Structure 1
């Protein structure tokens, strides 16, 4: 009997490398040849159920956690890509896209990267920033997508940064007695190890932190909340204390243009989160409170967004948390952060479905909005969302309004406190959502902004529909 259709090669490879085990050693433990394991890691062989069970036992995880959705994620990206108006007359069907992802995923990922490049150039040209005729400045790279892809490929878990943060945290805690705060220990560590004085002062608008290497000072803006200032200092510490680990991770990826700069910033933020919210105590807090974000942020003196991000990184083999997804969007629908281990598909380029509670959360500021979401394929997810406001800590300062969405597959919902009192088995409670209008097959949606890419308009002169797109027909 064969395991289910999703391929697990990339997941096996990441777990093996995270445990620093060679292919030969893992193959020996499983009772197979190294060449056969290599084929598995490259998705050229399916895995039998007994072998799946052996792999799960070796890495100390549940078999279901081993089966990842790389192929379905690629299908989603390709569906969104081919939904662009550029391919309106191509006649491609969803089955064509699925065949490409299944038969040649490497080619599929190359097509996605190529379209990312094309889209960046097209957008830049529309802004008048680039001449596609070969003039100067015609080289653009979609750096944010490259960073998101790298984080997704590594399941948002970087053991070398976890180890580095744990070592530094031990030294920080040792520099402060039982009555001192983490902030005091952080100040002491910065001075003893790097000769840096940390102080708070007035900085120009828009500047959160300033590192003055000549004066050996680290300055945080007096307009920041305490938890934000501490995180900013931990971020700078990551750039210094974890520089070798960050450099090695960047070198392991295929980055170009300004993507390494963004990747360095993202990895320093990862280190900061691991430093402020150490893995084992944080995982324990998640389990004790059943992922009660507001209780956890008070325990670790962090923000709502910082806790949500840290929850998505709990992927240590044998000590993992719930497989979660996270999305951050602004009030215009622009997705600035996306990551999914739950299996839910998140739009790569366009805004997500307006029925998703990550958008309706803006209607109830600072309140946690709970939703059971159902994708067109039938998979259900448990999603929470809350709007947050950033900035505004000085007179007339502009504010940024964002929404943070966090969730899991419906099977994991009972582990989250927000599911209490809900009938999770009642399908009628599920809100039908999709990835985006151009690839969503739900024709009865009154909030549809575009027809699916493989549909064309028709007009019923007898009955006027609430949405003209509901009358589109399949071509």
Structure 2
């Protein structure tokens, strides 16, 4: 009963979306306008029969009335209201949950407003840096953010691209023992494209360059074999599955700029490439048989550690679903360049991530697998695997950048992963307390805290010091 009484806002939002009055909707539902008014104001429960009527009337899935979307909105609202700007307003998590449940449209508008505020503030800071001679880049709503949201909405699973990759694989009769030559032959036979490998002296900047007029694809010799295969598969995706990608992106209103749409096409072509090199059925069976051993799967399919991690997050086919993973990639400064949550974990959208996550500590042991059993502030346990990956595209004088990637799942799935061998996943002592960001984290005794939590005011006693400057002051 209590759960249903929080659905009034969703009913009101649906009614307004269809430009219906309360009287019109009430008549369709067979109830009085006054009773509908009570439902929309959460003063009467939304019964199961009425839920079914609403779903039929608006041609919706019943999952529309679930709480999954609310949880995501509440998480984003908590992060936004964690800004010190709101410290004196006393906004509670309960207030944010009520807003998300009663008026999700308004909640999204608040997030859009806060995002605009952040962009404006960053623009002002950039302008200040420019006036001081510091240069800078204009702050905008980044295309990377919009594409990340697109992937999250689809839970990183695109069946039409899977089908398109299977068709190419079957029609091209790709030789699993010599994938590179098979892809080269396919491009030449099906698209009349010549593939050339260029020396670094001929092409120092572009790793892949496609000349439409000459029908020529050039790859740099700096690309390792696994990357050459992936770039070939990517180009095949752009040529063979272009219409499929366009149809997929057609109705995506979240892509607000040409740059976002261009980046989304690149992301979809990458998805196609992964599906072509690691076909769903064989890859799914191998992943389960080898207990998600990332390095072993990389060797078997001729791909990289990071590519396998990406592919593991896409295993969402009904009846053949893999472990629901999340994925995160950061640089050594802690900037998040890729993120996806299939496990339910929340990532920071406006702030830095928790430094206790294994994805950060992986930089301490480059090239080595690190595992972590962690607990979020809401009590949810996660099992994560992290490792650094190095960009080895270059010679002796070329700079080598290093990134860290992490893949993880809820701890209840940990035993399905080879990395849990020897780890007591039920142990409380092994748990590392982590949070989304410092402002939202309630682990007060964290020695790595750099901001006070939004739930508790900052109290300073000059005569006392805890494990963290922003932690609670120890009792005398």
TM-score by length of 2: 0.82
> What runs of 5+ residues in structure 1 fail to find an aligned partner?
10-30, 47-67, 132-136
* Change in CA separation of 1:43 and 1:183 when aligned onto 2, cut-off 3 Å: closer
| 1:267 paired to 2:268 | yes
SS of the aligned residue for 1:333 comes to coil
> Unpaired runs of 5+ in structure 2?
11-50, 131-136
Asked if 1:370 is matched to 2:367, the reply is no
Q: Which residue number in structure 1 is paired with residue 298 of structure 2?
A: 297
The aligned residue for residue 395 of structure 2 is 394
The equivalent of 1:106 in structure 2 is: 105
Residue of structure 2 in register with 1:157 after alignment: 157
Alignment of 1:33-44 (within 5 A): 35-36=55-56, 38=58, 41=61
Would you say the 8 A contact 1:156–1:313 is kept in 2?
yes
CA distance in 2, matches of 1:80, 1:334: 17
State how 1:197-212 maps to structure 2 within 5 Å.
Answer: 197-203=194-200, 204-212=203-211
Can you list the C-alpha shifts for 1:117-160, whole angstroms capped at 9, x where unaligned?
Answer: 332333233223999xxxxx999433222111111111100111
Cα distance in structure 2, aligned partners of 1:259 and 1:418: 37
Residues 73 and 130 of structure 1, relative CA distance in 2, 3 Å threshold: farther
Other-structure match for 1:27 = none
Correspondence for 1:346 = 347
User: Would you say 1:186 and 2:189 are equivalent positions?
Assistant: no
Distance in 2, Cα, partners of 1:435 & 1:294: 28
Aligned equivalents of 2:322, 2:399: Cα separation in 1: 36
Q: Give the equivalent residue in structure 2 for 1:65.
A: none
TM-aligned CA distance change 1:450 to 1:6, over 3 Å: farther
Distance 1:288 1:138, change over 3 A: closer
Cα distance in 1 for residues equivalent to 2:57 and 2:416: 34
Asked whether the equivalents of residues 466 and 473 of structure 2 are also in contact (C-alpha less than 8 Å), the reply is no
RMSD value, Cα: 2.8
What SS does the corresponding residue of 1:428 show, helix, strand or coil?
Answer: coil
What is the rounded CA distance, in whole Å, between the counterparts of 1:268 and 1:336 in structure 2?
Answer: 18
Asked if 2 retains the 8 angstrom alpha-carbon contact of 1:160 and 1:245, the reply is yes
Instruction: Count the aligned residue pairs.
Output: 422
Name the CA shift for 1:111/1:245 in 2 (closer, same or farther; >3 Å): farther
Q: What does residue 278 of structure 1 align with? A: 279
Moved more, 211-220 or 375-384: 211-220
Retained in 2: the 8 A contact 1:460–1:471?
Answer: no
Structure 2 counterpart SS, 1:156: coil
**1:49 matched to which residue of 2?**
none
Q: Is the partner of 2:89 in helix, strand or coil?
A: coil
Compared CA separation, residues 300 and 347, structure 1 to 2 (3 A): same
Find the counterpart in structure 1 of residue 338 from structure 2.
Answer: 337
The verdict on how the C-alpha distance between 1:370 and 1:138 changes in structure 2, with shifts beyond 3 A counting, is: closer
Matches of 2:315 and 2:472 in 1, distance apart?
A: 45
- Determine the C-alpha separation between the residues in 1 that align with 2:84 and 2:65: 36
Q: Does the alignment pair 1:92 with 2:91?
A: yes
Shift in Å, 1:237: 1.5
Q: Between Structure 1 and Structure 2, whose CA radius of gyration is higher?
A: 2
Structure 2 counterpart of 1:51: none
Rate the CA distance shift 1:455–1:281 in 2: closer, same or farther, 3 A. Answer: same
Query: Structure 1 residues 431 and 208 mapped into 2: Cα distance closer, same or farther (>3 Å)?
Result: same
Instruction: List 4+ stretches of structure 1 deviating above 6 A.
Output: 1-7
Deviation at 1:346, TM superposition (A): 1.2
Deviation at 1:38, TM superposition (A): 4.5
Residue number in structure 2 paired with 1:62: none
| 2:247 counterpart of 1:242 | no
Q: Determine if the alignment matches structure 1 residue 83 to structure 2 residue 103.
A: no
Check conservation: 2:55, 2:61, Cα contact below 8 A: no
Q: Alignment partner of 1:351: what SS? A: coil
Residues 197-242 of structure 1, C-alpha deviations (whole Å, 9 max, x = no match): 1121135433210112222211111011111111112112111111
Change (3 A) 1:117 1:206: farther
CA contact (8 A) 1:6 1:70 kept: no
CA distance in 2, matches of 1:5, 1:448: 38
Contact in 2 for aligned 1:380/1:410 (Cα 8 Å)? yes
Q: Which moved more, 1:298-307 or 1:264-273?
A: 264-273
Q: Aligned with 2:229: secondary structure?
A: helix
Structure 1 residue 6: deviation in Å?
A: 12
Structure 1 residue 93, shift from structure 2 partner: 1.5
Query: Per-residue deviation at 1:112?
Result: 2.3
Task: State the distance in 1 between where 2:6 and 2:280 align.
Answer: 29
